Copies of this chain bind each other. A is one copy, B any other.
Amino acid sequence: MKLHHYYRSSASYRVRIALGLKGLAYETVAIDLKPGVNAQRSAEYLALNPEGLVPVLQDGAVTLTQSLAIIEYLDETHPVPPLLPRAPAARARVRGLALVVACEMAPLNNSGVLSYLKGTLGLDEAAVNAWYARWIARGFEALEQEVASTSGDGLHMFGSEVTLADVCIVPQMYNARRFQCDLAPYPRLRGICAHLESLPAFARAVPEAFEGA
């Protein structure tokens, strides 16, 4: 498999974690999202992915976009270990936790949006940081409450096994730390992430391991 990604993209980081959890070997192609480079908007990359976003996973002749779709594909084609529980209600709870990150937090703070805020709207750094912190807080406040009932052991978002929700929370927590958001109000999420980050599949997927690669 071939993963087109950017080391700091949280969506890319999610897929690297999932590939690691499934024990799958993959090669990487670095797509440099830095302003001024914008490799994701090159004609060559847009031919691969008209969305102009990372990641893209190529599995033989199959080309897939959107990190959650890719991860569900990996879970369906390589079912062990599972990233979703079996019961429909439990699956929906796990997907719901993952979607809080993927729909309510990450899209508001990705590089395209931050560029628009700085460039088109002319926001200064303080205003951009306040924007970033606003959506981190809105999502983490909800998740901190939800995991009080969904986590089975204080080490996972749901139950006591690694799921799709864990794959999503770790890159979001990484970004929140990078942007120096106040994480004091979220002791449960911090405890969960501290555990997850100690697991090999998560540790091998960190951005630092992929800078420029």
Contact = CB atoms under 8 A, between A and B. Distances in A.
Nearest to A149: B50
A84 to B, nearest CB: 10
A139 to B, nearest CB: 8
A92 B59 CA distance: 12
Given A64-B96, A66-B99, A89 B73 contact: yes
Task: Report the contact-size class of chain A (Cβ under 8 Å from the partner).
Answer: 35 or more
Contact of A62 (B89, B99, B104, B106): B89
B89 A64 contact: yes
B95 A72 contact: yes
Interface in A78-119: 88-89, 91-93, 95-96, 99-100, 102-104, 106-108, 112-113, 116
A87 B110 CA distance: 31
A116 B53 CA distance: 25
Contacts of A95: 66, 68-69, 72
A37 interface: no
